Amino acid sequence: MSNSIDLKKGLDIPIKGTAALKTTKKILPDVVAVKPDDFKGFLPRVLVKEGDRVLAGSPVFSDKTNPDILVCSPVSGTVQEVVRGEKRKLLAVLVKADEKQESVDLGAHDVEGLKASEVSDLILKSGLWPSIIQRPYGIIADPALRPKAIFVSAFDTAPLAPDTDFVLGSRIMDIQAGVKALSKLTDGGVHLSLDRATEASTPFHKIEGAAIHTFSGKHPAGNVGVQISHISPICKGETVWTVSPLLLAAIGRMLSTGKVDLSRKVAVTGPVAIEPAYVDAFPGMPMRAIADFCDNSKGYVRFVSGNVLCGKNVGPDGYLGWFDNQVTLLHEGTEREILGWAKIFRPKVFSSSMAFFSWLCPKKKYDMDTNLHGGKRVFVLSDQAYAKVLPMDIFPLYLIKACLAGNIDDMEKYGIYEVLPEDLALCEYADPSKNDIQAIIENGIDLMLKEMA
């Protein structure tokens, strides 16, 4: 098992709007949303009602299939509304935040002295257990299982991704506590992946008790799924857990201090963002809280919670996702181009396939919008477009076709256990047929959960 991996495939999308390494605003919004849809496979039972008082760390939902799994409120305040949709589907619980924040006190603990059962009980009680994701399928981790290993990616290569060192450099002690705690829950240890370019300077290289791996290459080198495929691929019957460094820090702080703290630095990015920078905020922050970052002169703006490849379009009335610390602001591309693809020279358009002359300006950043530059067309049966951008030992084209056909045997054969939709996001970007590849993979995973669970 190599500790230094060089990835040759991938693609860095040159989009404008990288956040400057400074925090320009502290946001404590009036209302914060806790949304069950942020957690795949979670069947929520509401534990609060309108008018109830909650603290940061107070349980808001429990899972109907496993009542020990709770989702907590990220802020203290009063439950303002329980929002439901069609057929009374639970959409969100809105909490009106206090000006002065208070947290549930679970008691400070010496992580070194905790047993595995005590660690899992504390994380469950705090409402932070849903922060741990289980692969295959990307569902909430089963606390009754002992995974093969736990993986953490300490860098992000997605377009305009937040700088992990800037966001979490001051919370290394929290992350260290989280690593020590989670290492008790697995026999395979915690695996921490670093960017080789910043390995010497990042504070993450000081973390003890974890197996350190370094990666170099273009996106998706920072995806934890890609890293797992090169460190210890997932075979049928095996289970691994992953956790983002952001939520690992929250788990470590909760164990060390007894307080649930989900505050985070959020990067406000994108071509439409005015002076892109960081804000101090909470998950569930409403998008209207960052309205002053938005350049409305360019027309309708798309608010994306996350990055441009696999983030969620939440709209101006939406909320920041539980797992996200990035907002991307994009111009909604509704304009039609004269001649369209037939133009020979298009200096303002980037092409991953060298169809235009963007390859002559490798350092240029582009003012990208949401325009697809064409519509869906016949599925081109060529694996070449995907193979160039996916550094995993799977057959993406055949996996996509198997998911479309609902063929479970072929899905297993071609790598469904190793991937989540985010791992094939670049394939969707480069796809000449403009298929919704992430949605196809998501549907395949849903079928596996239904038929194989």
Write down the domain spans for the chain.
4-18+107-257, 26-97, 266-350, 384-452
Other CB atoms within 10 Å distance of the CB of residue 253: 22
Q: Specify the 3-state DSSP secondary structure of 421.
A: helix
Residue 2 has what pLDDT?
A: 47
Strands 31-34 and 90-97: antiparallel
Max CA distance (Å), the chain: 68
Residue 432 has what pLDDT?
A: 84
Residues paired with 33 in a beta bridge = 94
The residue type of 123 is: I
Distance linking the first and last C-alpha atoms of the chain: 31
The dihedrals phi and psi of 185, each to the nearest 5 degrees, come to: -95, 0
Other CB atoms within 10 Å distance of the CB of residue 388: 17
Residue 383 has what pLDDT?
A: 66
pTM: 0.95
CATH of 26-97, one of 2.40.50.100, 3.40.50.300, 1.10.10.10, 3.30.70.1350: 2.40.50.100
Q: What is the rounded distance in angstroms from the CA atom of residue 206 to the CA atom of residue 340? A: 52
Running along the chain, 453 residues long, what does each successive block of 10 average in pLDDT?
84 96 93 97 96 97 97 97 94 96 95 96 98 97 97 97 96 97 97 96 95 97 97 95 98 97 97 95 96 82 96 96 97 76 71 72 87 76 82 94 95 96 95 91 96 79
